[in-house]
Amino acid sequence: MSAALSSGTRRERIIRLGQLISDIEGALLSGDPEVEIAQLEYDSRAIKSDALFIAIKGYAQDGFDFVEQAGEAGAVAVMGERDNCDAVDNYVRVPNVRKAMADVSAKFYGFPGYKLKAIGVTGTNGKTTTCYLLRCILEARNKKVGLITSQEYYTGKETFSAERTTPESLDMQRLLYLMKGNYCMNAIIEVSSHGLVLHRVDNIDFRVAVYTNLTRDHLDFHKSMEEYFQAKKQLAMRLEGPLSYAVINLDVDEFRPLLGEISSSYMTYSLEDDKADVYCASRKLEPEQTTFDLVTPMGAGIVRLRLPGKFNLQNALAAAAGGLAGGVDLDNVIKGLERANPVAGRLSTVKCGQPFAVFVDFAHTPDAIIRLCETVRELTDGRLLLLFGCGGDRDKGKRPLMGKAAMEYADYSVVTTDNPRSEEPEAIIEDIKLVLDSAKCEIRIDRKEAIAAIMKKATPGDAVILAGKGAEPYQEIKGERIPFSDTAEAELALANLGYRQKATDEET
């Protein structure tokens, strides 16, 4: 848990250990049930005093390796899956520590997930933008809305930088607790497949579940597309009753069977199918905006969206359907969509007076690269130059697919580093190189040098895409997050080429 989010910043609640774990199935306590717990933590570095340390196992570290450190810092109890723990006097053994963490966190914070109307957004691509559009739609009613995305966590008052797409359940419950305290009515939550499988979104009353799309990603974790889909499916299966809605994209064949399986109500949307509940009857795609006719069961209207590209139009339809399913009237849906600004790092433009376009985008899957290139191709008459890489310690099978997408959809590519994590960048690029055409690409390990190189290659009328990181302010290398910004590096590279004039507000 980040220091800013840590419950150790103040003693918000106090509860006896026995009471805290009383509803955890299979929990066995060795110790004193009357000991008072004033803090929950899974990060021993954040412990202040009177804490229950929850020893979860991550991808690189095991919480049990830090129980002594936790005890020295002020933990009075430990929860975990091992048979025993000698580091503290009070130990709670549970069958599933992640599920138990979700349950004790919800209880500790007073079950805030049942006091907010939650909208979950899941899918491979488009989740973050759809969440931001939904926020604008819900705020059009002059109501406070909380937001949890891969980009930031907003509690109606405070904004925290996001450490992962869907926070650990303890962080999640604390964020919901803060939202409720800040008088938020809704919580919009970006729900990853990891978040569903690892119990991060347990104990939340989702009223609406929005599905964006489904393409290959995270197969290092799920092992197969079927397993990946089954994880995503969980969100819709949690909905109960006619007042809850699954919002389904009819353009994704894999989602259609959900309509016959869910017990909740549903609303459909589509770019192409006018049999959907929500669709666009006509559209005009322009370099910096999209105008379309929105058709819904509640009526129709013209929307002028300040986001370019067909995939953003699809995100807007998802958000519109999600808003309507959540009880927002059509006028406020349209008002919210038209108020929405471009999302940082999602097809963001970099303008320094150069005679070619520069875009920064988070695209990091083969399908996202294809859709991004198709969108930018419609916005430029020149060449399309693409910079991309693949993340370390993630699905290796998608690496050649990323290279294949680049070779087919871009005129020229620069392959570089993108969060190599514990892997060597050269090894990652070797996996990508299997399908590369040397006449259409070059390799630059250093991302800073790669950005400079692709800017030098651009000529008037071209479009440059810096893909993979979006608004991320770091490179993740060997366990460290080293400050790095694609946008800042692009501006520096352009300045070195003599382009220093920033765009005015009227030009953006």
Per-residue pLDDT of the chain (508 residues; tens, 9 = 90+): 454 566 544 456 899 999 999 999 999 999 999 999 999 999 999 999 999 999 998 767 888 899 999 999 999 999 999 999 988 899 999 999 999 999 999 999 999 999 999 999 999 889 999 999 999 999 999 999 999 999 999 999 999 999 888 999 999 999 999 999 999 999 999 999 889 999 999 999 999 999 999 875 545 554 677 787 787 888 989 998 889 999 999 999 989 989 999 999 999 999 989 999 999 999 999 888 999 999 999 999 999 999 998 999 999 999 999 999 999 999 999 999 999 999 999 999 999 999 999 999 999 999 899 999 999 998 899 999 999 999 999 989 999 999 999 999 999 999 999 999 999 999 999 999 999 999 999 999 999 999 999 999 999 999 999 999 999 999 999 989 999 999 999 999 999 999 987 653 333 3
Alpha carbon distance, N-terminus to C-terminus of the chain: 36
Which whole-number Å values give the CA distances from 81 to 5, 84, 85, 366, 422, in the listed order?
25, 8, 10, 38, 27
Residue 507: predicted pLDDT: 39
Which whole-number Å values give the CA distances from 278 to 160, 211, 249, 256, 296, in the listed order?
33, 14, 10, 15, 5
Q: How many angstroms separate the CA atoms of 353 and 366, rounded?
A: 31
Using DSSP, state whether 197 is helix, strand or coil: helix
Nearest Cα residue to 190 out of 139, 134, 122: 122
Segment holding 73, helix H or strand E = helix 67-73
Tell me the one-letter amino acid at 411: D
CATH dotted code for 348-497: 3.90.190.20
User: Is there a contact between 106 and 202 (Cβ–Cβ < 8 Å)?
Assistant: yes
Residue 338: predicted pLDDT: 98
Instruction: Label the pairing between strands 117-122 and 206-211.
Output: parallel
User: Is there a contact between 101 and 168 (Cβ–Cβ < 8 Å)?
Assistant: yes
What's domain 7-108's architecture?
3-Layer(aba) Sandwich (3.40)
Please report which residue ranges of 182-329 form alpha helices under DSSP H.
Answer: 193-197, 219-222, 225-237, 310-325
Give the homologous superfamily in CATH for domain 112-339: Mur-like, catalytic domain (3.40.1190.10)
CB atoms within 10 A of CB 142: 7
Condensed to tens digits (0 to 9), the pLDDT of residues 334-349 reads 999 999 999 999 999 9
CB atoms within 10 A of CB 303: 22
Q: How many angstroms separate the CA atoms of 379 and 467, rounded?
A: 17
Domain boundaries, the chain: 7-108, 112-339, 348-497
In this prediction the pTM is 0.89
Residue 214: predicted pLDDT: 87
Which whole-number Å values give the CA distances from 301 to 163, 296, 329, 333, 377, in the listed order?
38, 9, 12, 10, 28
User: Is there a contact between 357 and 393 (Cβ–Cβ < 8 Å)?
Assistant: no
Condensed to tens digits (0 to 9), the pLDDT of residues 67-123 reads 999 999 999 999 999 999 988 899 999 999 999 999 999 999 999 999 999 999 999
Q: 443 is written with which tokens?
A: 């390799």
Q: Can you point out the beta strands (E) in 196-349?
A: 206-211, 245-249, 265-270, 278-285, 290-296, 299-305, 348-349
Q: How many angstroms separate the CA atoms of 345 and 375, rounded?
A: 15
Residue 219: predicted pLDDT: 53
Q: How many angstroms separate the CA atoms of 379 and 312, rounded?
A: 14
Q: Which of the 8 DSSP states describes residue 228? A: H
Exposed/middle/buried for 321, CB within 10 Å: 0-12, 13-18, 19+?
buried
Q: Which residues pair with 24 in a beta bridge?
A: none
User: Is there a contact between 189 and 150 (Cβ–Cβ < 8 Å)?
Assistant: no
Residue 164: predicted pLDDT: 85
